[in-house]
């Protein structure tokens, strides 16, 4: 059994490193349009698909949710990427989605790694047995607009001291079968298949775009 911060492949995933279930509809990668997700909702609805439609032509807030399966508080950070489904097995093609904030002087600060927390303060850790989310949203911009109709996937990485998973830890030049095995065998990696749709056509739908 996995004993760290898990980002699930599917509802019911408990960290079995050799799961044979589908891996492309993670409930813990959460596109949330222009709304703000808080830890209370993320925790209460842990066994729900909270993700909303990804709408091109506007900013979408996206979050990564985890659960601490250990018996001690855990510190970790999450990374989030998007990529055309046809390029999933080529991590060099993944596009990072960054968190955007401002400092006290109003200067914009962008970050690829966002701390995870299970509390409402700025302390960045996840309590033992608790659900956590990224301390701030990843901001997906409107760059999808000219590529509508493509099948896109989000990939989340959760990096901790015990189980490192920074972008440089991702194997390069995987074939399709190797990529699928890699996702399934790492409880700190998850994928969500989405369709990028027009706001007026908003409806939640998951695209079977790769490996299934």
CB neighbour list of residue 176: distance below 8 Å, 6 or more residues apart = 88, 89, 210, 211
**Whether 155 contacts 80, CB under 8 Å:** yes
The count of residues in the chain is: 212
Percent of the chain residues past pLDDT 70, beyond the cut: 84
Does the pLDDT of residue 211 top 50, yes or no? no
Q: What is the pLDDT of residue 194?
A: 85
Please give the Cα distance from 117 to 126 (Å, whole number): 5
> Per-residue pLDDT averaged across 140-158, rounded?
76
Element (H, E) at 84: strand 76-84
Q: What is the pLDDT of residue 173?
A: 83
Does the pLDDT of residue 127 top 70, yes or no? yes
pTM of the model: 0.88
**Whether 191 contacts 183, CB under 8 Å:** yes
Q: Which of 79, 81, 78, 66 is nearest to 2 (CA)?
A: 66
> Per-residue pLDDT averaged across 180-196, rounded?
90
């Amino acid at each position: 059994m996995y004993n760290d911060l898990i980002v699930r492949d599917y509802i019911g995933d408990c960290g079995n490193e050799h799961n044979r279930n589908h891996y492309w509809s993670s409930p813990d990668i959460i596109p949330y349009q222009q709304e703000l997700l808080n830890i209370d909702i993320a925790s209460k609805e842990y066994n729900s698909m909270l993700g909303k439609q990804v709408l091109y032509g506007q900013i979408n807030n996206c979050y990564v949710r985890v659960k601490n399966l250990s018996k001690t508080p855990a510190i970790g950070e999450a990374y989030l990427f998007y990529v055309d489904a046809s390029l999933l097995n080529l991590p060099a093609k993944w596009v990072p989605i960054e968190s955007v904030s401002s400092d006290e002087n109003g200067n914009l600060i962008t970050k690829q790694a966002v701390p995870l927390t299970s509390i409402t303060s700025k302390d960045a850790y996840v309590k033992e047995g608790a659900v956590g989310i990224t301390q701030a949203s990843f901001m997906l911009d409107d760059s999808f607009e000219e590529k509508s109709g493509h099948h896109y996937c989000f990939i989340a990485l959760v990096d901790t001291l015990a189980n490192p998973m920074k972008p440089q830890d991702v194997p390069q030049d995987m074939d399709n079968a190797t990529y699928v095995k890699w996702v399934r065998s790492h409880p700190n990696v998850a994928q969500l298949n989405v369709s990028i749709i027009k706001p007026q056509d908003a409806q939640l739908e998951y695209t079977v775009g790769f490996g299934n």
